[in-house]
Amino acid sequence: MSKKILLEKIDIPDIREYEVYRKSGGYASVEKALKTMTPDDVIEQVKTSGVRGRGGAGFPMGLKWSFIDRKSGKPRHLVVNADESEPGTFKDRYLMHHIPHLLIEGAIVSSYALEANLSYIYIRGEYMWIFKILEKAIKEAYANGWLGKNILGTGYDLDLYVHCGAGAYICGEETALIESLEGKRGNPRIKPPFPAVSGLWGEPTVVNNVESVSTVSWIINNGGEEYAKIGLGKSTGTKLMSASGHIKNPGVYEIELGMSVDEFFNSDEYCGGMMDDRPLKACIPGGCSVPVLPPRYLFKTANGEDRLITYESLADGGFVTGSSLGSGGFIVYNDTACIVRNTWNF
């Protein structure tokens, strides 16, 4: 069984409520970071962990944080990308719905690392019921001294707000998201400058998605080295997978990176194999923007090696095109599906 980091407490009754979350160890990473660590210490731990952005690109998260402009003297910001507009991907929704304080805790520690005093969660318009869940959780965090002025008496101030988008797919792209957050039409910006230099209101900004930010509290509580021991090679830690399509057990699963596609696909603990035992036609392993894999390349690479759920293995095609881990949207098709029609729909 894979180690659980993000979903470790998901089955605790009423974990969505502040008191339950706090009693289960919630917000311990905020105490540790603000009272015993400098912002640079936090960044170093995230670097050491090797965690890569879980929104799709897989860029090293600590490295991204280190790029933020600290010399200009301008205010800095964290923006949490909760737009999750990739068809076939619903793991961020699952996290925010069931354990919203995990995201808020991660956002506080991440904002502290960036020395940001004003941060945002940008959530897609179709997630209105989750918007209300987050609003309630943020109010609880303010009421208990985790947000606002002089947090824990450390002198650190942070305001965190939820901003609801209007359901535009393009706003999943970080610069389009920033444009929308500023009240403009959500069009991507020409880069450079990158958001780390000129982002929200022309000020240094880091954009990370929900799963990435939610990982930070475990890394701070347990150490970057411990996180780096999980996973395989440069694909460290765990990954949330959104499994859907013609499988027996659709849902959200947390796996250790490095698991074979065959185990994830066929194990009763995860996908459980094909629904109705019809033959597999194709699989999209990382959300609709990544290449489709036919059965002969889903479980084995072109070189005959086991296909693993890592950033490297899924991209390895040998002498044919590989695919990508992307956002972890694992979409399975049986022989009744028309790939052309599905591609047109995407």
* CATH number assigned to the domain comprising residue 205: 3.40.50.11540
Res 218: pLDDT = 97
DSSP 216-254: HHHHHHH-HHHHHTSEETTEESEEEEEEEESBSS-EEEE
Q: Are residues 283 and 316 in the same domain?
A: yes
Q: Are residues 206 and 239 in the same domain?
A: no
Residue 250 reports pLDDT greater than 80: yes
Q: Which two tokens stand for residue 322?
A: 């590989």
Q: How many CB atoms lie within 10 A of CB 251?
A: 15
Nearest of 198, 251, 222, 212 to residue 56 by alpha carbon? 212
Residue 317 reports pLDDT greater than 80: no
Q: Are residues 286 and 335 in the same domain?
A: yes
Q: Are residues 158 and 194 in the same domain?
A: yes
Structural domain boundaries, residue 74: 18-229
Q: Are residues 136 and 253 in the same domain?
A: no
Res 180: pLDDT = 95
Provide the whole-model pTM.
Answer: 0.94
Report how many domains make up the chain. Answer: 2
Nearest of 144, 156, 215 to residue 33 by alpha carbon? 156
Q: How many CB atoms lie within 10 A of CB 261?
A: 22
Beta-ladder partners of 241? 253
Give the mean pLDDT of 229-256: 96
Res 222: pLDDT = 97
Q: Name the CA dihedral angle for 91, 92, 95, 101, rounded to a multiple of 10 degrees.
A: 170
Res 346: pLDDT = 86
pLDDT, tens digit, for every residue of 111-120? 999 999 999 9
d(C-alpha 199, C-alpha 312), whole Å: 30
Residue 105 reports pLDDT greater than 80: yes
Q: Are residues 221 and 257 in the same domain?
A: no
Query: Would residue 73 count as lying in a domain?
Result: yes
CATH number of the domain at 240, please. 3.10.20.600
DSSP state of 67: T
Amino acid at position 38, single letter: T
Q: Which two tokens stand for residue 169?
A: 């797919």
pLDDT, tens digit, for every residue of 160-171? 999 999 888 899
Nearest of 238, 211, 214 to residue 226 by alpha carbon? 238
